[in-house]
Chain A
Amino acid sequence: MAAIITQDKAMAVATVARSPGYWSGVARRLSRDPVALVALGLIILLVAMAILAPYLAPYDPTKASMIRRLKPIGTPGYLLGTDELGRDMLSRLIYGARLSLIMGVIPVPIAFVIGSAIGIVAGYVGGITNTLIMRTVDVFYAFPSVLLAVALSGTLGSGLGNALVSLTVVFIPQIARVAESVTTQVRRLDYVDAARASGAKGHTIILVHVLGNVLGPIFVFATSLISVSMILASGLSFLGLGVRPPDAEWGLMLNTLRTAIYVNPMVAALPGVMIFLTSICFNLFSDGLRSAMDVKS
């Protein structure tokens, strides 16, 4: 092993080992945070459950049966009971992870890219461009997020695509505002002036000096939005504005089971437990990530 590593490389490794970089420091601090690790583990399990749904689910999630409707939890063969159309709850909860995670997670990275681009440009260019961009962002920020999401998907109509668009539009202004304020701070720092003085062009400064220093904080903020997005996305489905029946999605399942709370309350509450679990895992992980990335603490 030692033979194939040249001395230069060994020296490099040793140097790195002695003064670990920022990201390895973050990873190290994160690996010492048991709560964040458990949350991350559960998130990975949920994603695996969504991907492997056809292998894990005992039944077809859309196969209805009028004779076994609303069976309680623990019915032989139907571990978590059946829903109002006699579909197996366990299978629907497993399959539900697919659409629920897609609806809840996807809008955030899209909004992260668009919102960061808008905010960084506004913050870096400044002046009238900044004013124009940020006033437009303010208009969308002036809506409470639930209201904006409901207004957009309510007018566009139900469906997965429209829900994704609405949620993305909700998060873009929030991310853009954070990106703008971080960029404005970084732009005033000495090393950016130094880069400019040494002849670096605008795009080089943005790509190398600004981007590297603003993406971290924006990223942390964006991860904290995933749990909000999960709750909002399932909320849209709960209102009948997200995916359409008979698709399995936790929010939609809550909606259709709402009428069953007098017959079989425990089964009716199950999809909400899944939304709660997912949202709390994302929140705990993002909290851990934030404190791991915060060098000051």
Chain B
Amino acid sequence: MLLYGLKRLLHVIPVAFGVSIVCFMLIHIAPGDPLAAILPSDASAELQAQMRSFYGLDRPLIVQYGLWIWRALHGDLGVSIATGRSVSGEIAAASVNSIILAIAATLIGFTLGSFLGFLAGVFRGGLVDRLASGISMLGVSVPHYWLGMVLVIVFSVHLGWLPAMGGGPGGSDGRAVGWDYIRYLVLPAITMSVIPMGIIARTIRSLVADILSQDFTQALAAKGLMTRQILRHVIRNAAPTAISVMGLQLGYLLGGSILIETVFSWPGTGFLLNGAIFTRDLPVLQGTILVLAMFFVLVNLIVDVVQGTIDPRIQRS
């Protein structure tokens, strides 16, 4: 287990290194001078040179990268050009909201998805299967940002049950556990849950169908076990894969929440990123992408190790 974890970690380090290089290079593939966003267009050459050396842009790329990654490893991602606040502070505040949203969405999606997938796998070919396959097909095909708009139209505009957007009564800092906060979470979480739901339903359907067709479940049936008892074996065999798919989906939702957070103005990292793109706030843009990508790498690592621990067959392959 420990050895397996270490092996995975050794595999992840070069990937994480590569990810940091990609994030670093983002600023340098951006068209135009990175300083253009801060300086007025008629700034004197002297001032431009001064700012360039202040931001270290006059040094060789490799030195710039070294300094950047050294500071990033110490939690310093620079200062936002738009607000003047520390980038790590902004990301930390936004992350909490994103994590809450992603966890809520994963829980809803996983519960519904595994229920649908399980039913479909047990009653293969039947009406339930077709219905479940249809729902999961709709789930993976729907443009979720549009679904978000439709839910707002139905539940906020027409029925007036839930707020259309925002992160709660106290803004991004006023998290209080209670209905006032959860009200704001319901629509974005349901919208977001549709993405993992379809994928989890399809995975679990094929898992359950596969396990039910294997010799050991047929042996259990031949031994005279009741259906309920056989299904317990099925669940135990499907659980490791199901859990790892859930973990991966959580990672995807955390990193890919920009569309839904924009629709609902949910004050998370995606919303922060969206703002940074339009104000050309490159430090925030770079920092958010780095943190989100690293988070995704980390979630994948955890999923790998957990799955390897539950299911020793994976360690051997």
Binding site for B on A (CB under 8 A): 135-136, 138-140, 142-147, 150-152, 154-157, 227, 231, 234-235, 238-241, 251, 254, 258, 261-262, 265, 268-269, 271-273, 275-276, 279-280, 283-284, 287
Is A156's CB under 8 angstroms from B296's CB?
Answer: no
Residue in B21, B22, B31 whose beta carbon sits within 8 Å of that of A156 in the complex: B31
Q: Which residues of A contact B289 (CB under 8 A)?
A: 147, 151
Q: Which residues of A contact B146 (CB under 8 A)?
A: 254, 269, 271-273, 275-276
Q: Which residues of B contact A276 (CB under 8 A)?
A: 141-143, 146
Is B30's CB under 8 angstroms from A156's CB?
Answer: yes
Complex CA gap A145/B22 in Å reads: 14
Complex CA gap A152/B17 in Å reads: 18
Q: Which residues of B contact A144 (CB under 8 A)?
A: 251-252, 254-256, 292-293, 296
Is B31's CB under 8 angstroms from A154's CB?
Answer: no
B interface SS class? helix
B138 CB-CB contact with A under 8 Å? yes
What residue of chain A has the Cβ atom nearest to residue B277's Cβ? A154
Q: A135-B15, A135-B18, A155-B26 are in contact. Are A146 and B293 (CB under 8 A)?
A: no
Closest Cβ–Cβ distance, residue A166 to chain B (whole Å):
11
Q: A139-B15, A156-B30, A265-B157 are in contact. Are A280 and B259 (CB under 8 A)?
A: no
Q: Which 3 A-B pairs give the minimum distances between C-beta atoms?
A: A272-B146, A139-B18, A146-B256
Complex CA gap A280/B142 in Å reads: 7
Q: A139-B15, A151-B289, A276-B142 are in contact. Are A235 and B259 (CB under 8 A)?
A: yes
Q: Which residues of B contact A139 (CB under 8 A)?
A: 15, 18-19, 21-22
B54 CB-CB contact with A under 8 Å? no
Q: How many residues of B contact A (CB 8 A)?
A: 50
What residue of chain A has the Cβ atom nearest to residue B153's Cβ? A265
Binding site for A on B (CB under 8 A): 14-16, 18-19, 21-23, 26-27, 29-31, 137-138, 140-147, 149-150, 152-153, 157-158, 251-252, 254-256, 258-259, 262-263, 273-274, 276-278, 285, 289, 292-293, 296-297, 300
Complex CA gap A258/B158 in Å reads: 15
Is A154's CB under 8 angstroms from B285's CB?
Answer: yes
Is A284's CB under 8 angstroms from B137's CB?
Answer: yes
Q: A136-B18, A143-B296, A239-B258 are in contact. Are A254 and B149 (CB under 8 A)?
A: yes
Is B143's CB under 8 angstroms from A235's CB?
Answer: yes
Q: Which residues of B contact A254 (CB under 8 A)?
A: 145-146, 149
Max count, chain B CB within 10 A of own CB: residue among A139, A157, A235? A139
Q: A146-B255, A265-B153 are in contact. Are A227 and B141 (CB under 8 A)?
A: yes
Q: Which residues of B contact A271 (CB under 8 A)?
A: 146
Residue in A145, A155, A261 whose beta carbon sits within 8 Å of that of B152 in the complex: A261
Q: Which residues of B contact A280 (CB under 8 A)?
A: 137-138, 141-142
Closest Cβ–Cβ distance, residue A174 to chain B (whole Å):
13
Q: Which residues of B contact A150 (CB under 8 A)?
A: 258, 273, 277
Closest Cβ–Cβ distance, residue B210 to chain A (whole Å):
13
Q: A157-B31, A265-B157 are in contact. Are A147 and B137 (CB under 8 A)?
A: no
Can you give 15 A-B contacts (C-beta < 8 A)?
A: A135-B18, A138-B18, A142-B293, A144-B252, A147-B255, A147-B292, A151-B285, A235-B145, A261-B153, A262-B157, A265-B158, A269-B149, A269-B150, A275-B143, A280-B137
Is B18's CB under 8 angstroms from A146's CB?
Answer: no
Q: Which residues of B contact A283 (CB under 8 A)?
A: 137, 140-141
Complex CA gap A261/B285 in Å reads: 30
Is B137's CB under 8 angstroms from A142's CB?
Answer: no
Is A239's CB under 8 angstroms from B262's CB?
Answer: yes
Closest Cβ–Cβ distance, residue A267 to chain B (whole Å):
11
Residue in A142, A154, A235 whose beta carbon sits within 8 Å of that of B296 in the complex: A142
Q: Which residues of A contact B16 (CB under 8 A)?
A: 142
